[in-house]
Amino acid sequence: MVASGTSASTAADRNLTLEIVRITEQAAIAAAGWRGKGDEMRADQAAVAAMHEALDAVHFDGRVVIGEGHGAPMLALEQTLGTGTGPAIDVAVDPLEGVTGCAKNLADSLSVLAFAERGGLMHVPDAYMEKVAIGPGYPKGVVDLDKSATENIKSLAEAKGVAVTDIVTCVLDRPRHAPLIAELREIGVAIKLLPDGDIAAVIHAANSDDTGIDIYLGSGGAPEGVLAAAAMRCIGGQMQGRLILDTPDKRLAATELGITDHDRKYAAEDLAHGDVLFAATGVTDGSLLRGVRFGQKKIITASVVMRSWSRTVRWITAEHPR
């Protein structure tokens, strides 16, 4: 994964681009077998096992930097993956983003994976992260985590040349966001509430021409923030994240990871730098990707795979024989 013109490195990069989407496809298919069955744990376990098996077959020297956590035996932090031959790659995984959405067959459940050159993905604790994201084409500093939601909306509306009431905001539907939602309603902003999955939410905001969403606001998981930043590096746009370290244990965990400034604002480039690959495959139907389709003789998946160096975004529909 280097911006090199040599044929060997180019071949390796192309192989990884193909491998990364094959891995999310397998994890999505495994999770989709539990779609709508009300069992979050089994859906997640199926996705984790399939992703782990697929990653371990890749010809690279992989290391998990964003993993499953909670003592999970597979895809845990610092676990080594792959055959050990080939490029040294940092791996960020979310085998099933939107576990509840999969169990209830709600929208935008995904299998997500990012690769970066060694040291390219930030280690973050298992905590929440405050986030704001918009798409490309705006002056730097249009939105900022130190501004209120109202100030960010007004600044974005001015930059876009529209009324505040024309802005569409994406927010996770969580009780913690009740004050934020009330503030947005007060100024007349349209809100798209997502039941789960803020990686998809950030990508929605970065693809506003396709999704109609202008900005993502709110808080979600810090590991998901790194994966979302990897996607933003590939798409373009602006994103800021700030860790919410509201307990002594979380502050200690951050410090042990080398994070000394607990109030720092991180740009997408801070969370995911260097050459980055990002892939996602739909598990359930959503506004970003269609979910897995099980036919009598084939399984159909819909995926997106992106690379930061080339800014290439590929939308892939694949048929897998049953």
pLDDT digit string, tens, across residues 205-244: 988 888 899 999 999 999 999 999 999 999 999 999 999 9
pLDDT of the residue at 11: 42
CA separation, residue 141 to residues 144, 154, 228 (Å): 6, 13, 19
pLDDT > 80? residue 10: no
Phi and psi, residue 5, nearest 5°: -95, 0
Q: Are 243 and 201 found together in one domain?
A: yes
Q: Are 138 and 246 found together in one domain?
A: yes
What is the percent of the chain where pLDDT is above 70?
Answer: 94
pLDDT of the residue at 210: 82
Instruction: Please provide the DSSP assignment of 11-78 as one string.
Output: HHHHHHHHHHHHHHHHHHHHHHTTTTSS-HHHHHHHHHHHHHHHHHTSSSEEEEEE---TT-SSS-TT
pLDDT of the residue at 6: 42
Query: Would 1 be classed as within a structural domain?
Result: no
Q: Are 59 and 132 found together in one domain?
A: no
Q: Are 17 and 85 found together in one domain?
A: yes
The total number of structural domains that make up the chain: 2
pLDDT > 90? residue 168: yes
CA separation, residue 18 to residues 14, 153, 154, 187, 317 (Å): 6, 38, 41, 45, 13
Query: Rounded to an integer, what distance in angstroms lies between the CA atom of residue 250 and that of residue 5?
Result: 43
pLDDT > 90? residue 2: no
Task: Kindly state the average pLDDT of the residues 298-309.
Answer: 96
Q: Are 255 and 139 found together in one domain?
A: yes
CATH code assigned at 152: 3.40.190.90
* C-beta contacts of 182-186 below 8 A and 24+ residues apart: 183/148, 183/149, 183/150, 184/149, 184/153, 184/217, 186/150
Average predicted confidence (pLDDT) for the chain: 92
pLDDT of the residue at 72: 61
pLDDT > 80? residue 79: yes
Task: Kindly state the average pLDDT of the residues 69-74.
Answer: 65
Q: Are 80 and 35 found together in one domain?
A: yes
Query: Rounded to an integer, what distance in angstroms lies between the CA atom of residue 46 and that of residue 26?
Result: 10
Whether residue 236 contacts residue 136, with contact meaning beta carbons closer than 8 Å, is answered with yes
Strands 238-244 and 168-172: unpaired
Residue-range definition of the domain harbouring residue 316:
7-121+275-321
Quick one: how far is CA 127 from the chain centroid? Answer: 15
Counting Cβ atoms within 10 Å, is residue 185 exposed (0-12), middle (13-18) or buried (19+)? exposed
CA separation, residue 246 to residues 221, 242, 253 (Å): 14, 12, 12
Query: Rounded to an integer, what distance in angstroms lies between the CA atom of residue 74 and that of residue 219?
Result: 27
Query: Rounded to an integer, what distance in angstroms lies between the CA atom of residue 84 and that of residue 182?
Result: 51
Token look-up 């040294």 returns: 88
pLDDT of the residue at 263: 95
